[in-house]
Structure 1
Amino acid sequence: MRLLTKLFSAAVLFVPAVAFAHPGHDASGALAGLSHPLTGLDHLLAMLAVGLWASQQKGNLRWALPVTFVAMMLVGGWLGFEGLNIPYLETGIATSVLALGLLVSVALRPPVGLAVAMTALFAMAHGVAHGLELPTQASPWSYATGFVCATSALHALGYAAARALPQAAAPLVRLAGMLSAAAGVWLLAGA
C-alpha cells in the first residue's frame, strides 16, 4: 500500500502540466522535455523496460543500467541539439523497444560490460531523438532537465513495480517484457 501511495504522489506531480496544454506557456522547454518521454509510446516502453530489466539484475547492474541510460541519453540529446541526425533513427528506437522487451521477457543477466554497452546504445538513440525535437526558442538545459526527470521517473517506476511484486509474480514482469517486445515489432512495422 505504501508503494501505491508513493506512486500516486509522484503521478500527482505531473497533473499541473495539464493546465499548460495550450502553447505559449513554457518558454523554458522544461514541460516539453518532461512530456516527451511520457507521450511517445516508443520512449515510454523502452524507459519502463530499463527499470524492469534493472530489477531482474543482481549487484551493480541494478543501478548501472538506469544510470547508464540517463547519462548516454544526455550525450545523445546534446548531439541531437547540435543537429546530428542518425539514419534510421526511428527504426533504432523501435528496435530498442523490441530488444529491451525481449531482455525483460527472458530475464537475461549478461556480463556487466555487455549490458551497459547495449543500454548505452539504446539510450544514445533515444537521446538524439529528444535533442532533435527541442522546441524552437526553448532552453536546451531546461528541456534536457525535463526529459532526464521523466526518464528517471519511468526507470524508477518500472523498477519499483517489479520489486514490489512477490517472487511468485515474476512471470508478470516477463509478460510485460513480451508485451513490450510485441509493441516493438508493431513499431518496427510502421517505422
Structure 2
Amino acid sequence: MVAFINQEAVEKAREIEIKADEESAIEKSKLVRQETASIDAQYERKFKQAELSQQIARSTVTNKTRLKILAARQQLLDDIFEKARVKLAEVSKDEENYTTILKNLILEGLYALGEDKIQVRPREKDTELLKKAIQQATQEYKEASGADVSITVDEDNFMPEDSHGGIFIVGTGGKITINNTLEERLKIIQADCLPVVRGSVFGENPNRKFYD
C-alpha cells in the first residue's frame, strides 16, 4: 500500500514537473517573442530616424550647394550687365553710329507720344549730333506717318555730362516725359531680357515648364 502511494506521488510529481516545464517553455517562448518584437521595433525606429537624418543632411547639403550656384550665377549676370554699363561710355565715341541711335530714340518717343511737338534734352556735348539726328528723325517720321513734327532741343536743361548719353524726351506742356537715356535702356534690357540672357549663358532650365 505504501509502495502504491509512493508510486502515485512520484507520477504526480512527474506530471507536475512536466506541466511546469511546458508552461515555463511557453512563457519563455512568449517572453522571447515579446523581446524580439521590442528589439525589432526599436531597430526599425532607429533605422527610420537614421534614414530621416541622412535625408535631412543630404537635403541641407543640396540646398546649400544650390544656393551657392544661384549666387554665383547671379554674380556672373551682374558682372555682365556691369561691363555693359561701362561700355555705354564708349557708344558716343562713334559719332555716325551714335547719331543713328539718337535718331531712333527720337522716333521711338514720337511714336509713343503721338504729339506733333516735342522737346529733347541731351548732354550739352551731344547737341550738334542731336540736331543732325532730329533732321533725320523728322524726315523719316514724315515719310512713315505723313505728318509734320516740331522737335526742339532744350538747351536750358541739359542732361548731366557724366551720364552715358541718350536723350530725355518731353511732350507738349511738359506733362509727359520719356526717359530714353542709354542707362535707362540698359535697365529695361536687364529687367525684360534677363531670362533670355540667363538662357544664353547657362542654357535652358530643364526643370522649368512654363515660359512667359
Q: Which of the five TM-score ranges fits, normalised by the shorter chain?
A: under 0.3
Q: Greater share of strand residues, 1 or 2?
A: 2
Q: Greater share of helix residues, 1 or 2?
A: 1
TM-score w.r.t. the length of structure 1 is: 0.24
TM-score w.r.t. the length of structure 2 is: 0.22
Q: Which has the higher contact order (CA 8 A, sep 6+)?
A: 1
